A and B are shown apart, each in its own frame.
Chain A
Amino acid sequence: MPTSISRRRFLRGVGVAMSLPWLESLPVWASGDRPPVRYACIYFGNGVGDADRKWWARGEGETMEFSEILAPLARVKGDIFVPMGLNQQGHTGSENHVRKCPTYLSHGPVGVATDLAPLVRQTIDQMMANAIGHATPVSSLALGVEPVFPGTNAGLSYAAAGNISWMTPTSPLPKEVFPALAFDKIVGAGERSRHDQSVLDLVLEDARQLRGAVSGADRRQIDDYLQSVRDVETRIRRVNDRSQPAGWAAPIYQESMMRRPATDLPAELADHMRLMLDLVVLAFRINSTRIATLMLNNEISRQRFDFLPGVGRGDLHGISHGNRVEQARINLFMTELFADFVAKLKDTHEADGSLLDNCLIQYGCCMWTGGHNAPQLPLVLAGRGGQTIRTGRAVDYSQRANRDLSQLYLSIMDRMGVRLDRFGPTSERLPDLA
């Protein structure tokens, strides 16, 4: 059934409205000869234990050196780039978790909307999803390990501590914490019925009627619903569209790549984290999406790491405020997981090289220490971004006049084919990347 409601009409909200005029999708690799660049942000929460001493890298090539927490990266050092000294202007102080987390992938302060919803700017992953997401079966993925907590913290919904991907100023892209459900989304599995379209047509008609009967904020909620239904419609159409472009084509999913995970949440935290990381590898491998975020922990995390030697039974947030030694041990463990993940991308063949060659992976957190402050940010990049990043180096940006992370985000978006003149406080690209 044809409808009169366009997608664009529903791309409302301050963040979207502000970003659209500058958004321009460049057909950087439109020939399809080469695999596209994929971007992921692997996020950990609650800062780094004893960061000044334990989080650094220096040098390049064979002589590159790593601190205690980054040591596991030594085995993939040829494929990583460690920018030291970047920060977010206006966020270098010690505002709390709910004020820092939702702006990590965007910029600008967090406001308070009605009923304590956070008010943020659209994050880069969602800006890119709007611009290029239509080219893959899934426009973007938001994954996590800890569910968003109920309730509020320091005057804001806990949503602000549990989401780094924000579609609109008040709506996160809800993250998936169930491995099996994320898997279904990635491989386009899950049940499809030939009657789906008739169901969607009818509920769209219901929504249009309801829309006419309500007003104000109720109507905007129905608009959101309409958009969400249409997104499902589009996805069904893309999965059914078997035509392959000329040139490079991603492999079709096979069970040997990864089996469907068990339906329940994994009992062990480490297994859960590994599974979610594996799912990012799978999604990129079959080019189900080019954009993913994964939160290994929420801010104000309640995860416990007492399976690690030397770590007590407090939760991560408590440890981050009270015990830097234990926190550093936990940071080290997550770097190990990240290094395994990078190695898996590297071991996956793609085109004439590895999958990692065409990836641009950001690994970091919105805080430098457990005490909330962020004079600089812990950050590692992995992958060559389609031969656009010279890896195997650490670069110290701390003496530059412009140290803002937004420069990196402009550079990342360029490489993803989304060119912005300005982002946050800057129009500069991060120098010395290529």
Chain B
Amino acid sequence: MRKLTLFVLVVASVPPAYADSERDTLATLVKNSCVKCHSGKRAEAEIDLDALTRGPIREADFKTWRAVARALSTNEMPPKGAKELSQGDRDRAVAIVRKSLDRIARSRAGDPGAAVRGRLSHAEYDNAIRDLTGLSLNISETFPADGSGGEGFANVGGLLTVASPGAFEKYLIAARRVADHVAFTPKGELRFVKFQEKGKGGSPQPEAVERDLLDFARRAWRRPLAEGEKAALVKHLKQVADAGEPLHGAVRVSLIRILCSPNFLFKSERSAPGKGTFPISQHELASRLSFFLWSSIPDAELSRLADDGKLEGDVVAAQVARMLADPKSVALSVEFFGQWLGFKGFDRHSGTDLKKFPAFTTLLRQEMYLETVEFFRDLIQADRPVPEILFSNATFLSDRLANHYQIDAATIDWPKEAVYLDLKRTKALKGDTRTVHPVYRVSLGKHSRGGLLGMASILTATSTPVRTAPSIRGKWIYESILGRDIPDPPADVGMIPDDSPKSANIRERLEKHRSQASCASCHARFDPLGFSLEAFDAIGRPRSKDATGKAIDDSADLGDASFRGIDGLREYLRKHQDEFLRNFSRKLVGFALGRSIAPADLSLLDSMVDEAAKNDQRFSSFVQTLTRSPAFRQRRAADYVDLLDKE
């Protein structure tokens, strides 16, 4: 039985978050425009603003107020026909509400949040099998896709279940496929080989095999085995052998049993009684670290530290640094950055019209993907400042890609060696990779490429099959980079038809679309961001004319800011770097914990951003602050209740 240290959560009483005068201001603003519908027993959307504004904003009404702030800030409310709220009044009301909500949220600092760890995601399953056997089998390709949620990642514990007739069977079949690769060394020890090497080597020796199986289970289950578990595993092996199965067949059955166990498939953490919070065990911490940074199981060093009870304090920080520098952290590039920014799976991108863009060959596509994966791998492993994602003048090019970008290869200062990683082995690259050229880290000086915004993978993924799509590019910058909210489009929304007047270019067609008032309020916020990238075509090549033969107009007018081209966009984003860093932090927390951001996490986001500012914005600083936090190190006990969780 493990010792539990229980912290009793002290909920300090929250002082009223704003002055009485502010409360009166809010009540007056709301009274004029909202309470006609939002009051009494039949209040619209069951939001009674009359009652809500009688006192200070209460914690119990947190979610209601958050919805109110969102509806006001996105101009969703008041609806047409209601008494209008001037922009100034609207901003004032939202500011008062947000200030109060922030106060309440920050009073929750230290609450680790609701954590359901769930089963292994498919990426985690494949990587775990790779680390257990040394073979890249990529078995999860035949699994039904993981659902995504939370902050947009496919590792959200609450959604990762084994919950249907047949769901378990997939794991049974997968375990058999892994076990098919079992073989033995000349000394009779357990090992795994590719199919073509089957039949070589020795035959199993009972003692060696027992020891190796227990070690395999220990690694797969990510914790030391109880004596009873060891005995049961050995007993099962013997029973199967006694039933007439040859020893190598019995070993196979034992491996299937280990890999189908919930101890392997689930990341569940031990619970503790009470209403407070408690620290997770060191083995659980080792798992959280390795699933976060490697999308895989802990390695020998991490496990040994947990076994010895040394995985605490500075040792954790040192392990985080070691793990970030390890080749396996490429998983963060593919899984975290790839899902956040939308380039995961670009190596199989099929959304480009090959008749219109014959230059978009399979090999070029894979090198585009490599550019982006390598860029982020390098950011992580060389621990570069996070703003370089947008502002770096370096990127990773092959000769083919340089040619695609119309950069004269002779003008590039190519390094001697490609920073080449076996991406196929790490499952970062799929398909025929035989003639993919290596990519080299190059600095491009004044050239417009360098950093994420000039990458062909991103520029292609945010285009339609046949043309650029400034709305999609703009929305991607607005939402994914800056983390700003866009309300859902109105129902029965139109698309820009590809078969409409040939003489109008996309900019003119979009401007027409925006002439509809219902579209304009949002599109005016993000379309211009996309217009600034119009000098790149639908597969990321530079261009000076569009498909209709008109000269490219890459000017952007956002109302409160106007600029031109990718350089202007970078300058604009530089001014909004704090939003980018905060959104990056938010996404990183969502990925690390496998859940949505909760109000209690706001303080963690603050400290990640603050700490990073003292550390040159380096990637590792964000990770260190995060992995030190209670959200990462603790769990809520079984009976924890938080008002803010209530829907």
Contacts and interface: CB of A to CB of B under 8 A. Distances in A.
A224 B160 CA distance: 11
B263 interface: yes
Contacts of A423: none
A93 interface: yes
B197 interface: no
A157 B261 contact: no
A178 interface: yes
A288 to B, nearest CB: 13
Interface string A201-235: 01100110010011111100110110111011001
Interface in B134-151: 142, 144-150
A398 interface: no
A194 to B, nearest CB: 8
Interface in B244-268: 245, 253, 256-257, 260-263, 265-266, 268
Contacts of B245: 195
Interface residues of B, number: 73
Contact of B172 (A215, A232, A312): A232
A150 B499 CA distance: 30
Nearest to A318: B495
Contacts of A313: 353, 355-356, 465-466
A117 B164 contact: no
A199 interface: yes
Interface in A167-182: 167-168, 171-178, 181
A198 B240 contact: yes
Given A198-B239, A225-B168, A314 B465 contact: yes
Contacts of B261: 202-203, 206
A322 B495 contact: yes
Nearest to A313: B353
Interface residues of A, number: 77
B156 A115 contact: yes
B271 interface: yes
Contact of B164 (A93, A150, A173): A173
B492 A225 contact: no
A225 B265 contact: yes
A419 interface: no
Could you say which of A221, A224, A227, A302 has the most chain B C-beta atoms within 10 Å of its C-beta?
A: A221
Nearest to B118: A221
A323 interface: yes
B596 interface: yes
Contacts, number: 213
B557 interface: no
B154 interface: yes
B498 A322 contact: yes
B142 A178 contact: yes
Contacts of B351: 302, 315
Nearest to A10: B163
A190 B177 CA distance: 12
A295 to B, nearest CB: 12
Could you say which of A174, A222, A229, A315 has the most chain B C-beta atoms within 10 Å of its C-beta?
A: A174
A167 B161 CA distance: 13
A158 interface: yes
B60 interface: no
A174 B166 contact: yes
B243 interface: yes
B135 to A, nearest CB: 18
A167 B500 CA distance: 43
Nearest to A212: B271
Nearest to B354: A313
Interface string B487-504: 010011111111100000
B291 to A, nearest CB: 15
A426 interface: no
B359 interface: no
Contacts of A152: 148-149, 152
B163 A185 contact: no
Nearest to A302: B351
Interface string B161-195: 11111111100110010000000000000000000
A205 to B, nearest CB: 8
B66 interface: no
Contacts of A196: 172
B491 A93 contact: yes
Contact of A228 (B165, B243, B495): B165
A157 B116 contact: no
A118 to B, nearest CB: 9
Contacts of B146: 150
A218 B166 contact: no
Contacts of A117: 147, 149, 158-159
A337 B167 CA distance: 29
B67 interface: no
Contact of B253 (A173, A195, A215): A195
B210 to A, nearest CB: 16
B596 A176 contact: no
A157 B148 contact: yes
A304 B154 CA distance: 25
A318 to B, nearest CB: 6
Interface in B60-101: none
Could you say which of A138, A151, A231 has the most chain B C-beta atoms within 10 Å of its C-beta?
A: A151
B339 interface: yes
B33 interface: no
Contact of B169 (A94, A215, A232): A232
A190 B175 CA distance: 13
Please give me the 9 A-B residue pairs with the lowest Cβ-Cβ distance, nearest first.
A174-B144, A116-B149, A224-B163, A321-B495, A231-B165, A215-B271, A94-B491, A322-B497, A115-B149
Given A228-B167, A231-B166, 14 more contacts: A148-B145, A168-B163, A173-B165, A174-B164, A195-B245, A203-B261, A206-B263, A216-B116, A225-B161, A228-B163, A314-B465, A321-B494, A322-B494, A323-B498
